[in-house]
Structure 1
Amino acid sequence: MNDRGALGRYGEDLAARRLRETGMAILERNWRCQTGEIDIIARHVDTLVICEVKTRRAGSYEHPMAAVTPRKAERLRRLAARWLSERWLVRYGRPPTGGVRIDLVGVVLPQRGAPVVEHAQGVA
């Protein structure tokens, strides 16, 4: 795996750990279809949570929390709808009672010290 792939996987592992610590159950990771990928799909009480994870090394061009542009947000909404119809509705037959929320987990890796993990709820 290349350095970028390893960086992304490490960030997603940290993000999944943080989400579990907040009481979420991870349903699936790295779900792919022809139109894109969802990094983490989780359930928080009765809400389905679609999580985009962005990992950056400290000092990189863009802070990870700035990564969800309007275009990316629309793509995440389309992917969420597709996952919901292909996975959730097949299993449960109805939408989640708490609805669907799109979150962003930003991970910054400093040159020294512990990673900084930020979780923003309802970004799109």
Structure 2
Amino acid sequence: MRAKDAVGRYGENVATRFVQDAGWQVLDRNWRGADGELDIVALDGTALVTVEVKTRRGVGFGHPAEAVTARKVARLRRLTAQWVAAHDVRPRSIRIDVIAVLVPRSGAAHVEHLVGIV
């Protein structure tokens, strides 16, 4: 596994623990649809939430959340609709969140949760 892939996998694991600790029910991880992949699909109460996880070792190339462009958001919306169509889940509401994970050289990862980016 490449170092970049390992950092991304670590960030997804951190984000999954973060939402589970918040009481969310994780329904799916790394779900692949026609337009790509959803990192995390979970229930936050009655809301279905798809979570895009962005992980970086530093901010030299910008904050991790800055990598979620308008084009990426449009793709996440299409993927979320595909996930709902493929599963027997009828949530009261649907939203897309971003979890940004910064992994320092030493110490714990820093997690920032951006709720309802669209």
Q: Report the TM-score range of the alignment, normalised by the length of the smaller protein.
A: over 0.9
Write out aligned runs for 1:16-55 (5 A): 16-55=16-55
User: Taking every aligned residue pair, what percent have the same amino acid on both sides?
Assistant: 46
TM-score relative to the length of structure 2: 0.94
Aligned structure 1 segments of 4 or more residues deviating by more than 6 angstroms: none
What is the match of residue 65 of structure 2? 65
* Structure-2 separation of matches of 1:50 and 1:33: 13
What is the match of residue 111 of structure 1? 105
Between Structure 1 and Structure 2, how many residues are aligned?
A: 118
Which of 84, 91, 98 is residue 96 of structure 1 equivalent to? Answer: 91
Offset from partner CA, 1:88-119 (integer Å, 9 cap, x none): xxx24xx312x101000000011122110111
Kindly report the root-mean-square deviation, in angstroms, between the aligned alpha carbons of the 2 structures.
1.1
* Structure-1 separation of matches of 2:40 and 2:17: 11
* Structure-2 separation of matches of 1:53 and 1:113: 20
Q: What secondary structure is seen at the aligned counterpart in 1 of 2:12?
A: helix
Counterpart residue identity of residue 11, structure 1: G
* Structure-1 separation of matches of 2:66 and 2:115: 14
Counterpart residue identity of residue 118, structure 1: E
- Kindly indicate whether the alpha-carbon contact (under 8 Å) linking 2:34 and 2:79 is maintained by their aligned counterparts in 1: no
What is the match of residue 7 of structure 2? 7
* Structure-2 separation of matches of 1:60 and 1:31: 30
